[in-house]
Amino acid sequence: MSRRFPSLLAGPLAALCAAGLLAASSARAQAPAPPPDVKPPTVVHHVDAVYPPSALPAREHADVVLTLTIDVDGHVSKLDVAQSSGAADLDEAAVVAARQWTFTPALRDGKPVASRIRVPFHFAPPAPPPEVVDTSKPGVMPQQPAVPPAASAPRTEPASPALPGSAAAAGPASGTAPGESAASGSAAGATPSPDGGTASRIGEDEIQQVDIHGHLEARPHGTSDYQFVLDKQKVVPRENASHALELAPGFLLTNEGGSGHAEQVFLRGFDAREGQDLEFTVDGVPINDVGNYHGNGYADTHFIIPELIHSVRVLEGPYAPQQGNFAVAGSADYHLGLDRRGLTTEYTVGNFGMQRLLTMWGPSDAPAGTFAAAEYYTTDGFGSNRQAKRGTAMGQWETPLGRGTLRINATAYLTEYNNAGVVREDDYETGRVGFYGTEDPNQTGNTASRASIAATYEKRFKDIDTSQQLFTIYRSMRLRENWTGYLLDVQQPTQEPHDQRGDLIDFHFDEETLGVHGMARWHGEWLGLRQEVEAGYMGRLDQTTSTQDRVAAVTNTPYLRDADYTSTLGDVGVYLDGNVHLLPWLGLRGGVRADMFLFDVLNNCAVTSVGSPSTATAAAQIDQPCLSQLEHGLYREPFTRSATSDGAVMPRGTLVVGPFDHFEFTASAGNGVRTVDPSYVSQGLLTPFVSAQSRDLGVAYAGDLGGTVGLTAKSVFFQTHVDQDLIFDPTAGRNTLAGGSTRTGWAGSARALGSFFDLSANATFVQAVFDDTGLLVPYVPDIVVRGDAVVFTDLPWRLAHRPVRAVAGYGVSYVGRRPLPYGERSDVIFLNDASVGVGWTIFDVRLSSQNLLDARYRLGEYNYASNFHTAPQPTLVPERSFTAGAPRTVFLSLSATLGGG
Amino acid sequence: MRRLVPILALGLAALACNGSTGDHLITFTAYARGATGAAQPFTVGDYSIQLSEAKMLVGAVYVDESPLGNQTGGPVCISPDVYAAQVPGPVEVDLLSDQPQEFSVYGQGTADTGLSWQMWLTDGDVNEANRAHVVDLQGTATRTSDGTAIPFAAIVTINDNRIVTTVDPADPGANPVCKQRIVLVGGIDETFFDGGKLTITIDPRPWFELGFDFASLPPVDSDTCLGGDTTVPVDPTVDYGSAQVCIPNTNYASGAGAIEGQELFTSIVTGGSAAYTLQYQ
């Protein structure tokens, strides 16, 4: 479509394309001047509207006109769509941005008064512009370099006054509050037209520029780059923040460790466990633990209050130089924001004793990036050993500072939960253990906590946008789980004769992190096309301790120490990322990233004087496992450190061709790395990371149906190879390094957005095999299908003259029979989730159900040897075990919002 | 393109459902039986032995993927990740019958090859005190030189009466009782598959090959025959029947039958492939 209107692509406006410039209106020449005693509001803080990712492939231009009511403090207190673009996502993007604008209030006789203005947004795609820039055409957004230097000064000019005949001038009849003046603002040199819409007359001499504040958006890197604004999709019941990722294709999330345990992530042929192969961040702040013996890269997202997720960016594959450690299968970045302004209190009650109290607030006259929220959650769980409770608090303050935006985020999260663990299939079949039962009731007392503070400052200069971030994180977790029962405790000659004491793992991890992020993005013109070059860095230093003990079932006390590591881990990455347009239809995005990893590990598990043990001390060391802790063939002393470092240089790039008639084609390739846990360094591994190589071929489509329904679709063929895969070892209770593996597959997704619905569907087919044997990688699902549907509308009747809002959401998941060890396949998972809700004035009520059809399913399935003393003699050969998926859960939520504007 | 994408996707979908992680889990039926001819008289040294009762309690069978190897320290009672198959339930085998007698549970395993196997002689926890008779024997030994018939009996239990005393205080756990309850047998090369039938054959005749002097065994009403294992009291009427002498149920008897008591137990636990065979078909 966009190829039909090359002349309209007047500026290479990149991904942030709407209202990149807010000009003072030139209405002085075309409209009556305001009354002498009225001074219209002027823009102080301006946030870009983000071109919706769902519309990116279409590269459509569109216009949205908003009516903003500015209160006496200069904040947007009311906001309406005066003229829709016809696409809900574009309208929404304009609304979300405008809500964050701040102004100096309108003045009447020198006193601030409320006012109303109209702001047209013009959306232009981020594709390279044509060679010919013709800003005289209607709706054209001049490119920024064309702005006269003088216009780059901070905007101080008043927004133009309302025009006669415009809606804004209609006074109270059109919603203007008493005492309000009416004014009209416009975007990027667009002159307000008599009807208040975007003018058809634009002159470069009318163009003025304001400071651009707000969140610097990442540039897309290929078809596998999925960016979702959740918005109405929040209606679909999702267990926690991790499940928001399912809007991107290929995700399967399981959890064998209890409700406070990180989700196990399967993605595009990877068993990423709890995040080892997927880089998780929240607004750039890392979530993955490093040095976590249970899972290096363990990513617990439960500290994120789902209602605060504004959008999620999932990049499947290591194709962006910004992606760091663990971005092997890809990366996921949560972008926080509170769209529901005001003070909201929500109480939710559900079956299995579930209760949740949530309170959150975001002043209506503050940007969406300013919010606070806190929750308390408790549940008895749907079966044995599944009790859990948690408390979470998150707050963020976003404010203009100088010519930039400062954002400070703080979080605190605590949880305690029990863990049912696995159930042997034969025990379930014979009735010894219930489907929702537990083999070991001692898997209790699990905890997790996190506290973090992050400060981000983003500033836009004339031709360089910059961002600097500083963060510090404290993380702690305790995990008690028993995979094997009574299997591993072998009588040693040096031990007093004993019964098997049990294999219950008691794992503890502490992490303190200090890190920085920074980037600068230059944009300029070359070959007549807009070009961008971004350079950035990331650094984090982690001090971690990991201990893992085995606990005797009878006494519930540790009897054996598996691991005890104290580590200092460092990672400094630097990258260069270009967004180069060679032709209007040909671009290259990507560059190179280099990371330097440092590991300094102290294995406290080494035995004193083990190099020359005496018989006198040997008996006392009956359970010390450290006798096997060799380093380069030599026994270690407990004060002997192991250190190593190495660097990885990772080229990453995407070739973009198109769009041609709604289609855009991309070819991506890139390398990624995943560090190993410190135990391997202690054992002499000199290169502390594993490399992956990935490539994609993708095509994206974007169009509309009848002009009112936006439709996007993507298709990607991918292949990823990793030098050393991770394989779950139930005897160790964690993933351990295995041989190289390659996964090949296809992912497809589609989304349709209309004025009253949002439909999303995706599917992934993949085959992951080990390089040496050609055998399938176990546990990895080869078919994952997900669908989400949301409808939202006002009901046809009103209550007390107020509209009644209605929403309904439905999600369906299908996971094919996963390959399991020993040539087995799991059962199919087929789940349905649904919710319905109504709202009236400040009140909302919603009824939600997960696993609506009450399917009895096995969330995780395994084949390995375990012995839970449920047979006359030990069971020592592999047997099917499973973790039960949740039965039907039903929740009723009641909420009220005050001061939402 | 519009046609190519779905075609390729369908092709990948078909491919994605194929493949295997290798190996297979299996289940099978398991039986034990006596050796053919065990009910017939057999000659060992100066005696012709006719067994009238021979029973053995097999608590479980485990098939190891590794060969027997060097087991100088005795069996490692539970060694994870080495087993191809298991029958984790008991059967009391009438050793004088060569008819298959089914275990109380099905066998399970993986489609792998077993090179050695273990027979667990217990009906409970392999490390706990156990009241079960592992072996019950009754018969008549007839001295071929003079025709003297000596009705004899033996019970075998494995508790403190069999435990090996550890002499090194630095190795207090070197000889747990489980090591006495596990019979290691090598010399097999059986590949397991789903739905098969495992049969172990137990021949009691090799237990006597060390050559017992039945004439020197203690009478069944002696303290030696009534004692032996303090955990398991002896009811001579039931346990010894019409026998006149017993093979003592202990490794630590003194006087008459002391050696025979040790040797019978040793023969049982070290009988090897002469006494115990395993087949899978």
Residues 6+ apart with CB under 8 A from A659: A1, A2, A3, A57, A58, A59, A127, A585, A702
DSSP type of residue B268? H
Query: Residue A822 in contact with residue B193, Cβ under 8 Å?
Result: no
The whole-angstrom separation of Cα B135 and Cα A26 is 108
pLDDT in tens, A342-378: 999 999 999 999 999 999 999 988 888 999 999 999 9
At residue B15, φ and ψ (nearest 5 deg) are: -65, -35
Residue A606: pLDDT band by 50, 70, 90 thresholds? low
Q: Which residues are bridge partners to A410 per DSSP?
A: A395, A453
Query: Residue A515 in contact with residue A539, Cβ under 8 Å?
Result: yes
CA distance A880 to chain B (A): 9
The whole-angstrom separation of Cα A880 and Cα A825 is 10
Q: Which residues are bridge partners to B191 per DSSP?
A: B113
In terms of average pLDDT, the best of A36-45, A120-129, A556-565 is: A556-565
pLDDT in tens, B232-281: 999 989 999 999 999 999 999 888 889 999 999 999 998 888 899 999 99
CA distance A299 to chain B (A): 27
Q: Which residues are bridge partners to A286 per DSSP?
A: A281
Determine whether the interchain pair A824/B83 forms a contact, defined as Cβ–Cβ distance below 8 Å: no
Residues 107-136 of B with CB under 8 A from A: 108-111, 120, 122-128
Determine whether the interchain pair A822/B22 forms a contact, defined as Cβ–Cβ distance below 8 Å: yes
Determine whether the interchain pair A487/B169 forms a contact, defined as Cβ–Cβ distance below 8 Å: no
Provide mean pLDDT across the span B215-243: 91
Residues 825-864 of A with CB under 8 A from B: 863
In terms of average pLDDT, the best of A67-71, A182-186, B251-255 is: B251-255
Nearest to B127 among A499, A775, A778 (CB): A499
Structure tokens at A398: 């976003």
DSSP H helices, A552-671, are 615-618
Name which residue leads in pLDDT, B5 or A516.
A516
Residue in the structure block whose two tokens are 């351990």:
A736
Cis peptide before A688 (omega within 30 of 0): no
* DSSP tally for chain A: helices H, then strands E: 4, 48
pLDDT of residue B3: 61
Determine whether the interchain pair B25/A880 forms a contact, defined as Cβ–Cβ distance below 8 Å: yes
Residues 6+ apart with CB under 8 A from A355: A347, A348, A349, A377, A378, A379
Determine whether the interchain pair B24/A823 forms a contact, defined as Cβ–Cβ distance below 8 Å: yes
Chain A environment of B169 (Cβ under 8 Å)? 619
CA dihedral B154, B159, B165, B166 (to 10 degrees): 140
pLDDT of residue B73: 61
CA distance B127 to chain A (A): 6
Query: Residue A169 in contact with residue A182, Cβ under 8 Å?
Result: yes
Query: Residue A390 in contact with residue A415, Cβ under 8 Å?
Result: yes
> Which of A419-428, A639-648, A701-710 shows the lowest per-residue confidence on average (mean pLDDT)?
A701-710
Nearest to A745 among B16, B62, B170 (CB): B16
The whole-angstrom separation of Cα A291 and Cα A288 is 10
Nearest to A776 among B20, B111, B178 (CB): B20
- CB proximity B5 to A under 8 Å: yes
DSSP states along A13-67: --S--BTS--PPP-GGGTSPPPPTTEE--EEEE-BPBPPPGGGGGGT--EEEEEE
Residues 722-751 of A with CB under 8 A from B: 731, 744-746, 748
Q: How many CA atoms lie within 13 A of B279 on its CB side?
A: 9
Residues 154-193 of B with CB under 8 A from A: 169-174, 176-178
Chain A environment of B106 (Cβ under 8 Å)? none
Structure tokens at A502: 């049990």
- The CA distances from residue A686 to A599, A633, A681, A878, in Å, are 10, 14, 7, 34
The pTM (predicted TM-score) of the whole model is 0.80
Determine whether the interchain pair A871/B88 forms a contact, defined as Cβ–Cβ distance below 8 Å: yes
DSSP H helices, A307-373, are none
Radius of gyration of the CA atoms of chain B, in A: 23
pLDDT of residue B107: 96
- CA closest to B177 among chain A residues: A497
CA distance B48 to chain A (A): 38
pLDDT of residue A838: 96
- CB proximity B255 to A under 8 Å: no
Determine whether the interchain pair B9/A500 forms a contact, defined as Cβ–Cβ distance below 8 Å: no
Determine whether the interchain pair A877/B78 forms a contact, defined as Cβ–Cβ distance below 8 Å: no
- CB proximity B210 to A under 8 Å: no
pLDDT in tens, A337-346: 998 899 999 9
Residues 669-708 of A with CB under 8 A from B: 699
Determine whether the interchain pair A494/B172 forms a contact, defined as Cβ–Cβ distance below 8 Å: yes
pLDDT of residue A621: 44
Structure tokens at A430: 């014979």
pLDDT of residue B12: 60
- CB proximity A876 to B under 8 Å: yes
DSSP type of residue A684? T
Name which residue leads in pLDDT, B125 or B15.
B125
Residue of B4, B8, B10, B12 to mutate for A, most A C-beta atoms under 10 A: B12
CA distance A418 to chain B (A): 27
Structure tokens at B61: 């069978």
Instruction: Flag whether pLDDT at A23 surpasses 50.
Output: no
Average pLDDT over chain A, rounded to whole? 80
pLDDT in tens, A266-280: 999 998 888 899 999
Residues 6+ apart with CB under 8 A from A760: A233, A247, A749, A750, A751, A752, A787, A788, A789
pLDDT of residue B74: 65
Instruction: Flag whether pLDDT at A678 surpasses 80.
Output: yes
Residue of A614, A877, A882 to mutate for B, most B C-beta atoms under 10 A: A877
Residue A635: pLDDT band by 50, 70, 90 thresholds? low
- CB proximity A491 to B under 8 Å: yes
The whole-angstrom separation of Cα A785 and Cα A16 is 31
How many other CB atoms sit within 10 Å of the CB of residue A80? Answer: 15
Structure tokens at A745: 């597959």
Helix H or strand E segment including A592: strand A586-603
